[in-house]
Chains A and B, each alone.
Chain A
Amino acid sequence: MSYERRGGYRRRHRDDYDDRRREVHETPEQKLKGAILKLGEVDAIEELPRLERQIRDHVPINIPNVSEAFRIGVTEQPYKIPYYAALIRLLHDRSEDATDIKGLTLGRQILEDFWKGFQTYLDKLAWRETRLCIHFFAHLVVAKLVSAESMFALLQSFTAVLDEFGVSHGRAKRAALCAGEGLIIGGPSLKDSSPTNVIDIINAIQSFNDTILSSQWLVQPTIKIYSDVVSIENGDELLDSLLKTLRALNDEDFTETSNSFPQPYTSYPEIDPATSPPFDLPSVLVPPEIIELDGLAADSEEEAQVKKEEWPEYFLRLFDNDISPNPNMPAGYAVRSALLDILNIFEVNRKECARLLLEYPKWTPPGTFKPKPGAPNEAEPIVGKDWQLESTIIETILGAFLILPESSHKSIYYIGLITELCKLSPSTVGPAVGKSIRRLYGSLSEGLDVEVARRFAEWFAVHMSNFGFQWVWKEWVPDLALAVQHPRRAFMRRALEFEIRLSYHDRILKTLPEAMQAPDAFTIPEQAPGPDFEYDDPSRPHHDAAQSVLNLFRGRAKADDVISHLDTLKTNLETSEEGHINVDAIVRSIAVQSLLHIGSRSFSHLLNAIERYLPLLRNVASGGVSSAGGSGNAEAKAGILTAAAAFWKYNRQMVGIVFDKLMQYQIVDPTDVVGWTFLNGSTIGQLSELAAPLSLSAFEWDLMRGALDKANGRVMIARRKVTALRKEDDDTRARVKASTNDNSMEVDADKLDETPVVDNPALTTALKAFTSLTREQKAALSRTLEGFVASLAPSATDSNPNPHSRTVITEKAWQNRASWGKDEWNAWETWGWYRQFCRAYSPYLRNYSTTLWTVSFAKFEGSTDPAINLLKKTWNVATGQDA
């Protein structure tokens, strides 16, 4: 159905329903508020005097109502802030109306009330709202409605945060942005007032930024394993950009501010400080972070409070400065931070967000962006600006999406937003997306971080799934000459695997040129992903045994009956096979594969099979010892995972799903999955070419991530449960106490308090669960670290070590990467995942840093092995012991 026809349908319905449309009753106050929020729908400058009139004509004036509208306008439509500042400026004109109270102009009254709202944001530590209000005040400083001195004091209370003892990176970063952006916008007046104060603020931010160099090293989007120096060509760190912008502005006495931000208020007559003295912002204190004390720490290492955003933020650059703005220059910084604010504020509605992003140029000084094709060209292009809107938007979204260790929203938000942009304006956004993909793909061979590459493949697949899988693969055919594990080839494989998961094999195969379809191209599997039941073929060993188990499952036999049948099988095998084979392993494999076979038709079939035969699975996991309870037998659990991976070796999505559900039903533990993955992960997958010595590629990382997230998620749930039960308990106790006190006023109160409190059994159970889940979490993290250490700094006695894990970390080796083969790239990627493990799980690792260090690193005391040193250094940076 075409869009034209849809239009027809719409018209039909408008006729039907127009007369029945519900009347919306708005009070005059709501109408006024709406008018303020809608400022600028056509032309803000023209609308301003009209809106001023409307506010003045509203009798009786309700100041809180108007100032609330300003607050919402400023914090939810930051691109309109200059115009709200202009509106306040207009309302500062004295009038004959009765709106001035106690000699205060209407504008002044609104501003004073607005301040109260700002104070509330600050008290709640609503950082974005706080920062946007500071933007507003900064514009008012330039408009001479707020005094420069009080503005300095405000900004200084934010730079004071940077000096707090033990300030978290997240808090300091946000405070620095508040102070720095206030200075960028208010600079013209602020520098007039006190050049030294300006320098002080810049220096305060600079000295904080100098303390985080090692953190920057760990989260830059291009890996240069060999180098300590943080310098990359294709990305900019947020605070670095802020500082460069501030210095550039200060060098020119903030004349660039007016070219970077609209200042509509400057066209109005200057306010006379004699009749209208500027507003002095009251002094504030940035409140400390609220620390949740739920008292859940039996021993201090167990308190895993999870805090995010502890890292510097690197934004990838994909285009040159003449295509998209340089964020290190004032105008570029203004554009990028405005786009980021829109991106974050309108996360609740990606469709509106896309529309607002494409409308953004109307809020910028003329000449900032190239005019739309076909639009009347009013503004002269400005040298050094005249950027491409769509490229700028896509670059900014991808920049935010690819931040390490993780983006602030889910990947799928950024992906969906780009999809909406493409739908709104396919002819302009499409090419920008295509160019971005090519840039990212190109940088894969320049050391693009492995996690960035993983997200890139994810975006690529979902995007293509929304646009008919129309990618011109032909242009990458020459890269088939690269090593099979080269990042570009790994990307192609991964992207296609993801596409197939969202679609189906034949469909995706047809989108590829012949050269890529060939089996020896190792790009796409020959056949559709499916199960591989080892015992299916009658000529295979144990076929009959497997059939007998399968028949029991098909007949929905009871778990106990299956268990006793397995015991019989075992006895038979033991007698017939002369004992030199591992009978336990064979029976385990037969049982697990047969069960998966029953559940192989769909995800639901799998769940049903697992749920019906949980007792059987528990029995198998315990190594055949019935009702062993506890956490089973490590070898048996590894065997279950091996059987599952073998069964689904042609469908890696299913391997992930089965592992997840086995953990969900506590057949295996996350630690088992982590351990298994390090030892066996690289052998799964249809491309036997890729089987490698001990190493980790993106697929194994996904398995491991699934296990770690499961372990962490369980602790989170248990923690919540304990907290809820404690609260319930406290409430009950308080009630009991209150009623007892009421009833027996005369009784000695002390006596009552000593009444032994009966512990809530639910709470006891929950606490027990919490303790054991925390132990499991620690074990999983510890096992991961051990696995990485063993992979990256293998000792000569380890089985199947990668010979290149030590060589790829030198600069010489990196420069010579054109000659790298499979093992080198595998080793390099494993280093990349180690970095991601350390930075992504650092909030958890910090909590156990002493124990984990002892387990994995203590034995290397005094080692001069460069691989060991790099492992330790990365660990120290991630756990904050490097500062």
Chain B
Amino acid sequence: MAHIVSPLDQPSNYKDSQTRVDRQKQNEMLTKSTTLYIGNLSFYTTEEQIYELFTKCASPEDGGGIKRIIMGLDRNTRTPCGFCFVEYYTHSEALASMRYVSGTKLDERIIRCDLDLGYKEGRQFGRGKSGGQVRDEHRQDYDPGRGGWGAQAQRMEIERRREVEERYADAQDGPGAVAGGGGDWKEAEGATGDGKLKRGRSPEDEGDNARMGHRTRLDEDLDAERM
């Protein structure tokens, strides 16, 4: 059922550079995957917040549910660094998250989901030089949504996202939302992170697409007191 539009539950072109299985095997694993990579989380988002949102894609009556959540941690500080893995019991629950949750907000940030090969010990740590995710470094040649160094493979993904993004771009203009219903994403972003809130926000709130700028490491330090 997808001649007219492409489904949202397709995996991205991310390639785990440290996996030992070949591409074909990886694709095969993805068609059965029960694990999601979740990106662009606030450093302050808790596992319970993640649980609350992702449980909405669970199918307990079908033997499903959330099996576990693995927070992505900064390799050096052991504090959350903006990503996690959510593992379900069934593949269809992971697909549902791709279709319904990816690209919506959690804790006032637009999060991104991607099907994953499955969690392996060690993958909970950021692989960037600073200890966080690679995507947070000062680089241009990485997958815009997900970490990883494979610059070659990223081009197609960037292109795919650009096309999708372009389609929706023209409709993004328009006056702010009327209080009482919709509301406006742009304004909501601006309102946060101004220091009034108990918990600060990461400076970049632009969404699930290109994260080209760098991310200050300030938040991470703040994090330490919380853990």
Q: Which chain A residues (319-369) contact chain B, with CB distance < 8 Å?
A: 345-352, 355
Distance between Cα atoms of A657 and B46 in the complex (Å): 14
B52 CB to closest chain A CB (Å) equals: 4
Known contacts being A3-B169, A6-B206, is A412 close to B100, with CB within 8 Å? yes
Beta-carbon contact of B48 and A654 below 8 Å: yes
Q: Which chain B residues (147-195) contact chain A, with CB distance < 8 Å?
A: 155-156, 158-159, 162, 164-169, 171-189, 191-192
Distance between Cα atoms of A657 and B58 in the complex (Å): 13
Q: Which chain B residues (41-75) contact chain A, with CB distance < 8 Å?
A: 46-49, 51-53, 56-57, 59-65, 68-71
Beta-carbon contact of B60 and A706 below 8 Å: yes
A residues less than 8 Å from B71 (CB atoms) = 602, 604
Asked if A423 CB lies within 8 Å of chain B CBs, one says yes
Known contacts being A348-B1, A413-B100, is A717 close to B182, with CB within 8 Å? no
B38 CB to closest chain A CB (Å) equals: 14
B180 CB to closest chain A CB (Å) equals: 3
Among the listed B7, B47, B164, B182, which residue makes an inter-chain contact with A426, where contact means beta carbons less than 8 Å apart? B182
Segment at the interface with A among B18-26, B101-109, B128-136, B216-224:
B101-109
Asked if B99 CB lies within 8 Å of chain A CBs, one says yes
Q: Which chain A residues (3-27) contact chain B, with CB distance < 8 Å?
A: 3, 5-7, 9-10, 13-14, 17, 20-22
Beta-carbon contact of A426 and B60 below 8 Å: no
Instruction: Give a binary string over B78-116; 1 marks a CB under 8 Å from any A CB, 0 the rest.
Output: 000000000000000000100111011111100000000
A432 CB to closest chain B CB (Å) equals: 7
Distance between Cα atoms of A435 and B181 in the complex (Å): 8
Known contacts being A3-B169, A348-B7, is A430 close to B180, with CB within 8 Å? yes
**Minimal Cβ-Cβ distance residue in B for A413:** B100
Distance between Cα atoms of A346 and B173 in the complex (Å): 24
Asked if A714 CB lies within 8 Å of chain B CBs, one says yes
Distance between Cα atoms of A467 and B179 in the complex (Å): 10
Among the listed A345, A604, A716, which residue makes an inter-chain contact with B69, where contact means beta carbons less than 8 Å apart? A604
Distance between Cα atoms of A22 and B64 in the complex (Å): 40
Asked if A429 CB lies within 8 Å of chain B CBs, one says yes
Beta-carbon contact of B174 and A426 below 8 Å: yes
B24 CB to closest chain A CB (Å) equals: 20
Beta-carbon contact of A429 and B57 below 8 Å: no
Distance between Cα atoms of A613 and B121 in the complex (Å): 21
A residues less than 8 Å from B167 (CB atoms) = 355
Beta-carbon contact of B212 and A350 below 8 Å: no
Q: Counting chain A CB atoms within 10 Å of each CB, which of B69, B158, B159, B180 scores highest?
A: B180
Among the listed A427, A468, A653, which residue makes an inter-chain contact with B108, where contact means beta carbons less than 8 Å apart? A468
B residues less than 8 Å from A653 (CB atoms) = 48, 51-52
Segment at the interface with B among A214-222, A281-289, A310-318, A499-507:
A499-507
Beta-carbon contact of A713 and B177 below 8 Å: no
**Minimal Cβ-Cβ distance residue in B for A423:** B185
Beta-carbon contact of B49 and A501 below 8 Å: yes
B184 CB to closest chain A CB (Å) equals: 5
Q: Which chain B residues (1-47) contact chain A, with CB distance < 8 Å?
A: 1-9, 46-47
**Minimal Cβ-Cβ distance residue in B for A718:** B63
B125 CB to closest chain A CB (Å) equals: 15
Beta-carbon contact of A21 and B4 below 8 Å: no
Asked if A517 CB lies within 8 Å of chain B CBs, one says no
Known contacts being A72-B3, A350-B8, A603-B47, is A422 close to B68, with CB within 8 Å? no
A residues less than 8 Å from B9 (CB atoms) = 348
Asked if A607 CB lies within 8 Å of chain B CBs, one says yes
A128 CB to closest chain B CB (Å) equals: 10
Beta-carbon contact of A468 and B191 below 8 Å: yes
B19 CB to closest chain A CB (Å) equals: 23
Q: Counting chain A CB atoms within 10 Å of each CB, which of B51, B173, B177, B212 scores highest?
A: B177
B143 CB to closest chain A CB (Å) equals: 13
A residues less than 8 Å from B214 (CB atoms) = none
Q: Counting chain B CB atoms within 10 Å of each CB, which of A6, A37, A427, A467 scores highest?
A: A467
A residues less than 8 Å from B191 (CB atoms) = 468
Beta-carbon contact of B177 and A467 below 8 Å: yes
Distance between Cα atoms of A17 and B157 in the complex (Å): 12
Beta-carbon contact of A422 and B210 below 8 Å: no
Beta-carbon contact of B7 and A6 below 8 Å: no
Give the size category of A's interface with B.
Answer: 35 or more
Distance between Cα atoms of A607 and B65 in the complex (Å): 14
A774 CB to closest chain B CB (Å) equals: 14
Among the listed A352, A431, A436, which residue makes an inter-chain contact with B178, where contact means beta carbons less than 8 Å apart? A431
Instruction: Give a binary string over A688-732; 1 marks a CB under 8 Å from any B CB, 0 the rest.
Output: 000000000000000000100110111011001000000000000
Asked if B198 CB lies within 8 Å of chain A CBs, one says yes
B residues less than 8 Å from A713 (CB atoms) = 59-65
B72 CB to closest chain A CB (Å) equals: 12
Asked if A466 CB lies within 8 Å of chain B CBs, one says yes
Known contacts being A76-B3, A604-B69, is A468 close to B188, with CB within 8 Å? yes
Distance between Cα atoms of A258 and B98 in the complex (Å): 41
Distance between Cα atoms of A20 and B51 in the complex (Å): 41
Distance between Cα atoms of A350 and B185 in the complex (Å): 18
B residues less than 8 Å from A231 (CB atoms) = none
B residues less than 8 Å from A458 (CB atoms) = 56
Asked if A802 CB lies within 8 Å of chain B CBs, one says no
Distance between Cα atoms of A241 and B68 in the complex (Å): 46
Distance between Cα atoms of A436 and B47 in the complex (Å): 32
Asked if A847 CB lies within 8 Å of chain B CBs, one says no
B residues less than 8 Å from A466 (CB atoms) = 104-105, 183, 185
Among the listed B47, B63, B106, which residue makes an inter-chain contact with A465, where contact means beta carbons less than 8 Å apart? B106
Beta-carbon contact of A434 and B180 below 8 Å: yes
Distance between Cα atoms of A423 and B158 in the complex (Å): 22
Beta-carbon contact of B5 and A709 below 8 Å: no
Asked if A125 CB lies within 8 Å of chain B CBs, one says no
Known contacts being A1-B204, A423-B185, A504-B199, is A37 close to B169, with CB within 8 Å? no
Known contacts being A348-B7, A602-B48, A603-B47, is A429 close to B181, with CB within 8 Å? yes
Asked if B137 CB lies within 8 Å of chain A CBs, one says no
Beta-carbon contact of B62 and A423 below 8 Å: no
B residues less than 8 Å from A352 (CB atoms) = 4-5
Beta-carbon contact of B174 and A413 below 8 Å: no
B residues less than 8 Å from A467 (CB atoms) = 177, 182-185, 188
Among the listed A21, A347, A432, A434, which residue makes an inter-chain contact with B99, where contact means beta carbons less than 8 Å apart? A347
Among the listed B48, B156, B185, B187, which residue makes an inter-chain contact with A501, where contact means beta carbons less than 8 Å apart? B48
Asked if A213 CB lies within 8 Å of chain B CBs, one says no
Instruction: Give a binary string over A399-438; 1 marks a CB under 8 Å from any B CB, 0 the rest.
Output: 0000000000011110110010011111101111111111
Beta-carbon contact of B48 and A9 below 8 Å: no
Known contacts being A424-B171, A507-B197, is A430 close to B183, with CB within 8 Å? yes
Asked if A765 CB lies within 8 Å of chain B CBs, one says no
Beta-carbon contact of A9 and B212 below 8 Å: yes
Q: Which chain A residues (656-671) contact chain B, with CB distance < 8 Å?
A: 657, 660, 664
Distance between Cα atoms of A654 and B159 in the complex (Å): 42
Among the listed B2, B164, B181, B209, which residue makes an inter-chain contact with A348, where contact means beta carbons less than 8 Å apart? B2
Provide a sorted-by-A list of 15 A–B residue pairs whose CB atoms are within 8 angstroms.
A1-B189, A77-B4, A348-B5, A422-B183, A425-B174, A426-B176, A430-B184, A431-B178, A431-B180, A465-B108, A506-B198, A507-B198, A603-B47, A603-B69, A654-B48
Given A350-B8, A501-B52, A603-B68, 15 other A-B residues pairs in contact with their CB atoms under 8 A: A1-B205, A1-B213, A348-B5, A411-B56, A412-B57, A412-B101, A423-B172, A423-B185, A427-B178, A467-B183, A467-B184, A472-B179, A503-B107, A503-B108, A709-B60
Q: What are the nearest 3 A-B pairs in CB distance?
A: A430-B182, A467-B183, A434-B181
